[in-house]
Amino acid sequence: MGTKFIFFTGGVLSSVGKGVAAASIGRLLKARGFDITIQKLDPYLNIDPGTLSPYQHGEVYVLDDGSETDLDLGHYERFCDLRLKKTSTVSSGQVYGEVLNRERRGDYLGGTIQVIPHITGEIKRRVHLLGESSGADIVLIEVGGTVGDIEGQPFLEAIREMRNELPREDSAFVHCTWLPYLRATAELKTKPTQHSVRELRSIGILPDMILPRSDYPVDQDICRKIAQFCDVPVEAVVPMVTADMLYAIPLELEESHVADLLLARLGLKARHEPKLDGWRWMIEELKKDRPVAKVALVGKYVELQDAYLSVREALKHAGLFCDLDIEIDWISSADLPEETVDERLADADAIIVPGGFGTRGIDGKIFAARYAREHQIPFLGICLGMQVMVLEFARNVMGIKEATSAEFDSKAVNPLVDYMPEMKGQERMGGTMRLGLYDVELAEGSLAEKCYRTRHISERHRHRFEVNSAYCEQLEEHGLKVTGQSPDGDVIEVFELEGHPFMIGSQFHPEFLSRPNRPHPLFVGLLQAINKRRGLSTEKLKFGFED
């Protein structure tokens, strides 16, 4: 069997949940025994989102190979339990960059370079490349943006060409739209969906399935109307009603037989009955009333929760296994003056200081770390959060008042956190950090080892600065222990505070490897510490599931 391709496009407006739809359908196909992989085609001109502010695009999600990607890749990895590579992320910037490099090299000597066929050709090459390199049976491809966007046109043209070039049974098209609700007449309107499908058809793409998203229940009449005007069978109009729980969406789509419809369209038969027992178990558990735990997340971009999407999800995953319903208290670190800290954090069961960049809001993070240390509140510092934990300790326990990071003050006298040697003199900003999977060795008997149940781990990174090892002896003498290092000992990866129930900082980002079926050991450790403080059993409900 050749590789099959399912393309996802969006209409009416952005943020309708195309990424979650693709990820959910991926899960349903995987549950039927197919090897799947997913790709995001992003029409923006940046090479990758690594240089974008989280306010623009939410968090930057990092893959094993160090690719800095759109947060949808996180949905794909979590929903489908995948480890994706660079080939799963394509932007206009990469496509144009590649074509222009070839032009300079002389590959097109004598020719005029054009959007069609050169840019579209490079897009198609990258879609096929993922199919070939992954060996997947089915490749799901999400086209970012909305039909009608100028930047998106070459991508739509490329997938239209693929539709013609491939045998008819090798591609399927799913279009995700939005149904606006008119309060005055209490009705959902289908016209924008009709228009977006018309737009799609005018470029030669006929959707096989339409997923209209709505905040309100969608009745059969609406589906029939969409089917009639958009020329798809009524069973292929599958409403996606906004769910309380993101992870419930695959099961909702399963009830509408979405995967079977797509398989039939692709001339495939499920390899076995859908294996979704673990997933169903998870949804049942998530619906149950569980004791609430309040986790304060002290960060700079809290107004946009998507900026910390993976941390939020990792907490959810761990909550499920520690039998806690996690309520996140989003605290803006730039808005946390010292005199308000005690009151603001008084009801926090745990505190997280996540990753971040730049000076704004650093003081608030330092106050939060101090509060956690002094009040024995379980604390997890991630990347910048770990660096902050070290600075706080140096300032308030070791008395190095001016302890700082070279990131905040390049002429610092006491740069407890400094440029990594290989980053010095690096002026380019894109893709130049220490990125992706690196091994970490944990210290014997450490809390980190207890969480992971092993001393050898591999975690995803994204940083330019590191804790200055010249200060480690002093830090350790005062009780802040180095319990994780790179195998060559050059990079300090984990700190933990002696005599505190759970105060850990990691230079890496544990949140990127958390899965609903495999919660991350450090997040589990953090929540177990909450249970322990409450005198509850720290036994996990069930450790992971497979399906």
User: Binding ligand GLN by CB under 6 A: which of 356, 364, 521, 525?
Assistant: 356
Question: Using an 8 Å Cβ cutoff, are 241 and 248 in contact?
Answer: no
Catalytic residue among 118, 175, 317, 509: 509
Residue with nearest beta carbon to ligand GLN: 355
Set 383, 449, 472, 496: catalytic member: 383
Report residue 278 as tokens: 């673990």
The binding track of 178-217 with respect to ligand GLN, each residue x by CB under 6 A or -, is: ----------------------------------------
Q: How many Cβ atoms sit within 10 Å of the Cβ of residue 244?
A: 7
Smallest gap from residue 327 Cβ to ligand GLN (A)? 24
Considering the complex, what minimum distance in angstroms separates the CB of residue 407 from ligand GLN?
A: 5
Do 194 and 147 form a contact (C-beta atoms < 8 A)?
A: no
Nearest distance in Å: CB 245, ligand GLN: 28
Task: Check residue 122 for interaction with ligand GLN (CB under 6 A).
Answer: no
Distance CA(249)–CA(242), nearest Å, equals 9
Contact status: 357 vs ligand GLN (CB under 6 A): yes
Q: Which residues contact 409 (CB under 8 A, 6 or more apart)?
A: 415
Sole binder of ligand GLN in the list 7, 96, 452, 465 (CB under 6 A):
465
According to DSSP, residue 359 is labeled S
Within 8 A by CB and 6+ apart from 405, the residues are: 387, 391, 412, 415, 416, 417, 418, 465
**Annotation says 80 is catalytic:** no
Is 509 an active-site residue?
yes
CB environment 30-62: b (16+ within 10 A), e (fewer): bbbebebbbbbbbbbebbbbbeeebeebbbbbb
Which 361-400 residues touch ligand GLN, going by CB under 6 A?
Answer: 383-384
Q: What distance in Å separates the CA atoms of residue 318 and residue 192, rounded to the nearest whole number?
A: 40
Active site residue 511: yes
Within the chain, how many helices (H) and strands (E) appear?
A: 18, 23
In the list 126, 213, 265, 462, the residue contacting ligand GLN (rule: CB under 6 A) is: 462
Span of 159-167, 266-274, 279-287, 355-363 interacting with ligand GLN by CB under 6 A: 355-363
Give the shortest CB-109-to-ligand GLN separation in angstroms: 43
CB of 516 vs ligand GLN, minimal distance in Å: 23
* List 142, 254, 466, 511, catalytic entry: 511
Contact of 288 with 317, CB cutoff 8 Å: no
Closer CB to ligand GLN, 52 or 115, in the complex = 52
Q: Which amino acid does the sequence have at 435?
A: L
Chain residues that interact with ligand GLN, rule: CB under 6 A? 355-357, 383-384, 407, 462-465
**Residues involved in catalysis:** 383, 509, 511
